């Protein structure tokens, strides 16, 4: 090896570019973040050949003084932080001061700016992948900045060979614009590709305008099957739009999570969201959401990744709990609601017009969490009802006979009709046909009763402490010293779950008691999984999830089976139970339990009125 020497500025910039500038989309991200940090309210993006030939971004932000333009193209030169205290409370999207220098080292970069309102003044700086060789020249420009990047990777052909097709590269670039458009509703964005306008988004300030922007970015079908949530938890606020389980995706391609306006991809966030949807999402599907977490900037470290995609939370456990509990409660509180159903096709399936993605469930009407979704309808007394105990679920099936009137009283006003209406008939021993104020309701009786039974089993478990069963021979588990410390730190967690785990040595545990419902399970593997979750997220639902699987199976066996004939009063009682049961839109396996077709949809289906 040769002797140690300093890298040339050009090579150092190109190495930094390898971290910051992966593809044209990376350039757009860095420049747009600078525009937003400069206070821009309008940004225009012009792209040619997916950004390989040209990227031009113009904003109306604060602009840059002519004397500062050469510094703007230097490494580690920034106006956003000046001390360690600033770094620990970063409030801007960019702060390292290396983006423009890195971009300039692998392209022909022109930076034109004016920090005054006088449009006759302005200055332009040119840099073509050279070592600090910046050329300045006068250039009239309105207040704001234009960054023009031509011939990306012209001097690093090896990097250019790794770029994908024009379509793929532009899709990445467009996704960057979408994310930033969702992060700043107050800023207008225009995106053109090869002269064609792809997006033209005006600034959104009112609630209706923000909803229109989300619909424009995520597709109207998302907004039709999403609910708005807002959770305040001390110094944290979580808000945004949460896709219903019925609007699931085959890929995790419609998930946007922002922390203080910065879009992130974080394992802790993904785990909390996955936990919240665990009980309602069909297997293999992914939820859709646009969520915003606001907290003290000092509580989050954004300086842990070159592209700033990842963050580190000071109190990760509190953040995880805020996200999980907020989403879990919102999904649980969604009930069948009166009101117009979402837009649906003749087949009844909501379609995302932007992607052609078909929702897993036909169009539904949903009530907001905590809303009086039944309008003037007050659920009637059921009388004594059997509560299924964990040991009885496989043997006992609740009888619905005689708990509700057989049909809708003639004199009852339409607005008093409950959300799922009143039963008309049973189809093939599988489906309940009912009529509500909007039209026709169809219910999968087994799936619906399965969810009702499952929720009752979980409620019964929550009321009583999880019963434990002592092991005749305690099971020894070899673990690390760190995991022994986790057992001692989280002893209360294990006790609450019905587990009795003792420390037997510096790297050894003894499991003396397990939950009754987990007889025959691989206890050692389960304990290790719980410890892994506690180490990474500060919490775990492995035990509950495993027990829920058992309760789900019991509920499935205890639910009314297909081809069982129900009387009209029994069917009506089942509909009323659905309206009162949490998560009743899906069965335990995530399948839909009901759908609705409005009278207008039926008229279209039969071409009435034409």
The stretches of 188-315 forming alpha helices (DSSP H) are 207-218, 220-224, 267-277
Within-domain flag for 485: yes
Residue pLDDT, tens place only, 124-166? 999 887 555 788 999 889 999 999 999 999 988 888 888 999 9
145 and 125 inside one domain: yes
Within-domain flag for 317: yes
Produce one character per residue of 343-372: b if its CB has 16 or more CB atoms within 10 Å, e if not: ebeeebbbbbeeeebbbbbbbbbbbebeee
Instruction: Give CA–CA dist 300/87, Å, rounded.
Output: 11
Within-domain flag for 111: yes
150 and 107 inside one domain: yes
Instruction: Give CA–CA dist 570/558, Å, rounded.
Output: 16
pTM of the model: 0.75
Within-domain flag for 258: yes
Residue 144's CATH number = 3.30.565.10
245 and 314 inside one domain: yes
288 and 409 inside one domain: no
> Sign of torsion, CA 14 16 18 23?
negative
Q: Is 111 helix (H, G, I), strand (E, B) or coil?
A: strand
Q: Give residue 131's pLDDT.
A: 58
Instruction: Give CA–CA dist 389/387, Å, rounded.
Output: 6
Within-domain flag for 562: no
More confident residue, 586 or 53: 53
How sure is the predictor about 371, in pLDDT bands with cuts at 50, 70 and 90?
very low
275 and 179 inside one domain: no
70 and 37 inside one domain: yes
517 and 420 inside one domain: no
How sure is the predictor about 178, in pLDDT bands with cuts at 50, 70 and 90?
very high
Question: What domain range includes position 116?
Answer: 9-199
Q: What is the mean pLDDT of residues 473-488?
A: 91
pLDDT > 60? residue 398: no
Residue 508's CATH number = 3.30.1370.100
Residue pLDDT, tens place only, 326-344? 999 999 988 786 443 333 3
Instruction: Give CA–CA dist 315/302, Å, rounded.
Output: 14
Within-domain flag for 567: no
How sure is the predictor about 449, in pLDDT bands with cuts at 50, 70 and 90?
very high
Domain count across the chain: 4
pLDDT > 50? residue 240: yes
pLDDT > 80? residue 403: no
Residue 268's CATH number = 3.30.230.10
- Rounded to 5°, the CA angle 172-22-107 comes to 105
Within-domain flag for 58: yes
484 and 551 inside one domain: yes
């Amino acid at each position: 090896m040769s002797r140690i020497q300093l890298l040339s500025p050009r090579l150092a910039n190109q190495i930094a570019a390898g971290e910051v500038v992966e593809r044209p989309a990376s350039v757009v991200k860095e420049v747009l973040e600078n525009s937003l940090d400069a206070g821009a309210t309008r940004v225009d993006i012009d792209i040619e050949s997916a950004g390989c030939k040209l990227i031009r971004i113009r904003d109306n932000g604060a602009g840059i003084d002519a004397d500062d333009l050469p510094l703007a193209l230097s490494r580690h030169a920034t106006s956003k932080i000046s001390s360690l205290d600033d770094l620990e409370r970063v409030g801007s999207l960019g702060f390292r001061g290396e983006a423009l220098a890195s971009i300039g080292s692998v392209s022909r970069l022109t930076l034109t700016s004016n920090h005054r309102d006088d449009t006759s003044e302005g200055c332009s700086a040119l840099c073509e992948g050279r070592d600090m060789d910046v050329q300045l020249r006068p250039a009239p420009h309105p207040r704001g900045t234009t960054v023009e990047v031509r011939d990306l990777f012209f001097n690093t052909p090896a990097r250019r060979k790794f770029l994908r097709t024009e379509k793929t590269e532009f899709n990445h670039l467009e996704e960057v614009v979408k994310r930033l458009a969702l992060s700043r509703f107050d800023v207008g964005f225009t995106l053109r590709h090869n002269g064609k306008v792809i997006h033209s988004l005006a600034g959104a300030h009112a609630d209706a305008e923000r909803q229109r922007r989300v619909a424009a970015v995520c597709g109207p079908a998302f907004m039709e099957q999403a609910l708005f949530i807002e959770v305040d938890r001390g110094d944290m606020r979580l808000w945004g739009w949460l896709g219903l389980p019925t609007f699931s995706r085959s890929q995790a391609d419609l998930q946007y999570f922002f922390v203080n306006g910065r879009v992130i991809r974080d394992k802790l966030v993904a785990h909390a969201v996955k936990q919240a949807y665990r009980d309602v999402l069909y297997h293999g599907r992914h939820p859709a959401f646009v969520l915003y977490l606001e907290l003290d900037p000092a509580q989050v470290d954004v300086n842990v990744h070159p592209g700033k995609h990842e963050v580190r939370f000071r109190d990760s456990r509190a953040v995880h709990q805020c996200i999980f509990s907020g989403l879990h409660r919102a999904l649980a509180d969604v009930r069948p609601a009166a009101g117009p159903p979402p837009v649906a096709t003749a087949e009844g399936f909501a379609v995302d017009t932007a992607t052609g993605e078909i929702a897993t469930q036909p169009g539904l009407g949903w009530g907001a969490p905590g809303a009086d979704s039944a309008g003037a309808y007050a659920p009637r007394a059921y009388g004594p009802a059997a509560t299924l105990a964990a040991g009885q679920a496989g043997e006992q099936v609740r009888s619905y006979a005689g708990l509700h009137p057989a049909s809708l009283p003639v004199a009852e006003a339409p607005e008093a009709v409950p959300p799922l209406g009143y039963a008309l008939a049973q189809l093939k021993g599988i489906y309940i046909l009912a009529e509500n104020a909007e039209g026709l309701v169809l219910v999968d009786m087994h799936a619906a009763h399965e969810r009702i039974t499952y929720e009752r089993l979980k409620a019964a478990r929550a009321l009583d402490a999880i019963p434990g069963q002592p092991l005749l021979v305690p099971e020894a588990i070899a673990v690390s010293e760190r995991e022994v410390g986790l057992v001692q730190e989280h002893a209360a967690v294990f006790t609450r779950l019905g587990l009795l785990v003792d420390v037997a040595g510096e790297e050894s545990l003894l499991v003396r008691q397990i939950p009754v419902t987990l007889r025959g399970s691989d206890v050692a593997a389960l304990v290790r999984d719980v410890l892994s979750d506690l180490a990474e997220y500060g919490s775990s639902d492995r035990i509950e999830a495993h027990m829920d699987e058992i309760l789900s199976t019991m509920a499935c066996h205890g639910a009314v089976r297909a081809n069982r004939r129900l009387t009209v009063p029994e069917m009506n009682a089942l509909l009323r139970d659905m309206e009162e049961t949490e998560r009743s839109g899906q069965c335990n396996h995530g399948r839909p339990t009901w759908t609705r077709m409005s009278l207008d949809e039926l008229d279209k289906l039969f071409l009435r009125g034409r």
